[in-house]
Amino acid sequence: MAESTSRTLELTIRGMDCADCARHVEAAVRRLSGVARVQVFLSTEKAAVEIDPKRVSFEDIARAVRAAGYAVERPAQDPPATAKENVSAALTRTLWTALGAVFGIVLFVVVIGEWLGFFERVTARVPYPLGVMLVAALGYPVFRNVARAALRRQVTSHTLMTVGALAALAVGEWATAAIVAFFMRVGEAIERLTAEQGRAALKLLLEQAPRRARVERGGVEMEVDVDDVHPGEVTVVRPGEAIPVDGEVIQGQATVNQAPITGESLPVEVAPGSRVFAAALVLDGALKVRARAVGRETTYGRIVRLVEEAEASRGTMGRLADRFSALYLPVVALIALLTYALSGNATAAVAVLVVACSCAFALATPVAVLAGVGAAARRGVVVKGGRAIEALGRADVLLVDKTGTLTFGRPEITDVVPLDGRSEAELLALAAAAERYSEHPLAQAAVQAARSRGLVVPEPEAFEALPGRGVRARVGGREIIVGSARWVLDRADLKGASGVLQTAAARLAGEGKALLYVAVDGEPAGLLAAADGMRPEVPEALSAVRALGVSEIVILTGDHEAAARALAARLGVAYRAGLLPEEKIRIVKAYQAEGRRVAMVGDGVNDAPALAQADVGIAMGEAGTAIASEAAHVVLLRDDWRLIPEAFRIARRTVRVIRGNLGFTVAYSAVGLALAAVGLLPPVLAAALQSVPDVAILGNSARLIRQ
């Protein structure tokens, strides 16, 4: 198979103010031969372009973007220069807005005064050419962008208002045209504010990303750009500094705040052998960390990338809004023509053109999605875009993997059943001593249980492991045998203990627990029972999920029937046991065939196919399990089931906000067009009112940011 030669360019795009701008840039770049994929992120003013470098270059892409009316630059530029450019651009926009505000207020006062009869002589004395010049100066930035788009045969959200202003000038209403231009500038400022509110969470993520790192090279400590650190190098982190890489602590101890990555509210203690993540803050102590991943390959980098991609994923509602906007503008133009044709009222036709603005339709979904994604990210939940938000917001079936998801994925001793008058502590200490050097998970569970109870676990004098059967050891001069029922009991004299053991064993096995039989000097001494411990927050979390409208919860597991049945009974849910990965997929598809919307929660490689098949897959795992995280649509950054209902809650609220945004915009536009068409809404008032939907969308979506 030929090696792929494609690569991804990351570009900075300047001059984008609304969703229309991002779509125009995407369309311009996508037309180039050699471009496989392009995503434009309005929130960070960036574009990710996957190209074949043999067929297309950065210069080709830059020419296409400039031809579309926007500036482009390589991302790897000197940060101070970029900052100066941003300040300069912001100052320019501020001056234009201030100029527009001054002219707009003056003209607004003049028009109101004319309505009241105070300034009829003043407005009559203003020469018409001077009025046209005032309109041109006031609306120049918007008019320029509309003209550029028209030359490219594109229609923007300001096209109709520009046509309305020109129509007002055509009928001699220069003051009305000036007011229209003023409110175009106000609307532009509101759009920019709306976008800034939506991108606030992502900007916060980007600001927290470490930019410099201290590394050891040739025995010398030096400071370099974080992108210049290589996997395997040792980085030095001092108190108060952010860890620059994902890696393993090789020296030092410290208290670390990992909230930016995992959402944990409390700091954690790390020591040699601990795994740490880029952007985590060292509160006290100093560390040496061997880098495992750097830059965009770190967990933090993946979070930023996923949140960036979330903006480009518009989902069903976003695509519906796009199609509606494309049809809306020609429909409005037709209504304006019909208004003039039927009534002969040019002013009413102008009002129809002015009141119609598709900005609200374009903003209704992405602003809410960005707000929802940002709110989730702050809680340790990464949602991969609009489609995932919508799917999670509508899910009515929750399928859950068992091992490592509902449980910790490791056995714990739950029951100790001693015989012949021995205490639980004595039996557990003897079993742990015999198992001390065994690597079997059940053996380690016995040792851990003894130590957690403060018991002394002595060194065995002799030790023999027999794979598949158990262990034989000599402890304190006594022979201890620990293992499976058949192997242990075949070597012990049951005498009168068989009934007691069989009763206890039957009960514990019925609860899905694994059994370890113990014999001492050829006599049965008792048994230990182990189970994969359930995460303590699971019952409360599942109750919260049910309360949010998920009607069916089912455990899907490859574990045996008894273990699955026991756990399902504790949680009050259904279960399917002994499943292979392909069988999990078939179950997901069966629910989908019934018209159900399926959410699937898993943590491992074997869950990845079902996570991808589900309407929304949710990956468990501290800082993400690589394969499951890639397949899933939602990634939990820490192993905490309380994040599951939180994700459902945010998604459902986001869907409600999107519906509210779209519903209000449609109703508002319909009423405005009707009033304008019958002459009840003058052009000046129409221009002022067209900004109301943008403000309403901002306020409605801001509820998600504050949650």
Residue 497 domain flag: yes
Domain boundary among 533, 567, 601: 533
| Average pLDDT, 10 consecutive residues per value, the chain (707 residues) | 60 72 81 84 72 85 84 55 43 50 53 54 72 82 78 70 78 74 68 56 63 87 88 91 90 80 64 86 88 82 62 52 66 87 85 73 76 81 81 92 83 88 90 88 89 89 82 90 78 62 84 86 88 89 94 88 86 88 87 93 75 87 55 81 93 90 87 88 73 77 72
C-alpha–C-alpha distance, residues 498 and 495, integer Å: 7
Report the 10 Å Cβ neighbour count for 116. 9
C-alpha–C-alpha distance, residues 505 and 514, integer Å: 9
Residue 194: predicted pLDDT:
53
Helices (H), 395-434: 424-434
Residue 707: predicted pLDDT:
60
Distances (CA, A) of 278 to 75, 238, 289, 546, 626: 21, 14, 11, 36, 16
Q: What is the pTM of this model?
A: 0.67
Helices 315-343, 386-394: inter-axial angle, 10-degree rounding: 100
Residue 400: predicted pLDDT:
93
- 412 close to 449: Cβ distance less than 8 angstroms: yes
C-alpha–C-alpha distance, residues 679 and 364, integer Å: 28
Which residues have a catalytic role annotated? Answer: 401
Distances (CA, A) of 49 to 33, 35, 38, 102, 404: 12, 7, 4, 42, 37
Write the single-letter amino acid at 548: L
Residue 577 domain flag: no
Question: Which run of H or of E encompasses 234?
Answer: strand 234-237
Q: Assign 40 to helix, strand or coil.
A: strand
What single-letter DSSP state applies at residue 495? Answer: G
Q: Both 447 and 510 in a single domain?
A: yes
C-alpha–C-alpha distance, residues 388 and 390, integer Å: 5
Residue 150: predicted pLDDT:
76
Q: Is 82 exposed, middle or buried (0-12, 13-18, 19+ CB in 10 A)?
A: middle
Q: Both 23 and 72 in a single domain?
A: yes
C-alpha–C-alpha distance, residues 365 and 316, integer Å: 10
Q: Both 101 and 65 in a single domain?
A: no
Residue 249 domain flag: no
CA atoms within 13 A on the CB side of 225: 7
The total domain count for the chain is: 3
Residues near 135 by beta carbon (within 8 Å), at least 6 away in sequence: 165, 169, 174, 177, 178, 181
Residue 520 domain flag: yes
Q: Both 192 and 90 in a single domain?
A: yes
C-alpha–C-alpha distance, residues 538 and 540, integer Å: 6
Q: What sign for the dihedral angle of Cα 102, 105, 109, 112? A: positive
Q: Both 28 and 167 in a single domain?
A: no
List the beta bridge partners of residue 77: none
∠ CA 242-248-249, nearest 5°, is 70
Domain boundary among 41, 56, 77: 77
CA 172 to chain centre: 52
Residues near 96 by beta carbon (within 8 Å), at least 6 away in sequence: 140, 141, 185
Residue 94: predicted pLDDT:
53
Residue 54: predicted pLDDT:
83
Q: Both 341 and 440 in a single domain?
A: no
**CATH number, position 53:** 3.30.70.100
Residue 621 domain flag: no
pLDDT tens-place string over residues 156-169: 667 777 777 787 78
Residue 593: predicted pLDDT:
93
Report the 10 Å Cβ neighbour count for 112. 13
Q: Both 429 and 529 in a single domain?
A: yes
Look up the domain containing 98 and give its range: 85-200+307-369+656-706
Q: Assign 350 to helix, strand or coil.
A: helix
Domain boundary among 77, 104, 124: 77
Given the structure tokens 């869907």, which residue do they identify? 655
Q: Both 43 and 177 in a single domain?
A: no
Torsion on CA atoms 588, 590, 595, 600, rounded to nearest 10: -10
C-alpha–C-alpha distance, residues 53 and 6, integer Å: 7
Q: Both 41 and 189 in a single domain?
A: no
Distances (CA, A) of 280 to 241, 255, 258, 264, 329: 9, 10, 5, 11, 48
Residue 200: predicted pLDDT:
54
Q: Among candidates 381, 387, 330, 370, which has minimal Cα distance to 22?
A: 370
**Using only C-alpha atoms, what is the Rg of the chain?**
33
Q: Both 320 and 457 in a single domain?
A: no
Residue 337 domain flag: yes
C-alpha–C-alpha distance, residues 655 and 658, integer Å: 5
Q: Both 342 and 424 in a single domain?
A: no
Residue 85: predicted pLDDT:
41
Q: Both 90 and 66 in a single domain?
A: no
pLDDT tens-place string over residues 494-542: 555 567 777 888 888 888 788 888 988 888 888 999 888 888 899 999 9
Residue 223 domain flag: no
Residue 328 domain flag: yes
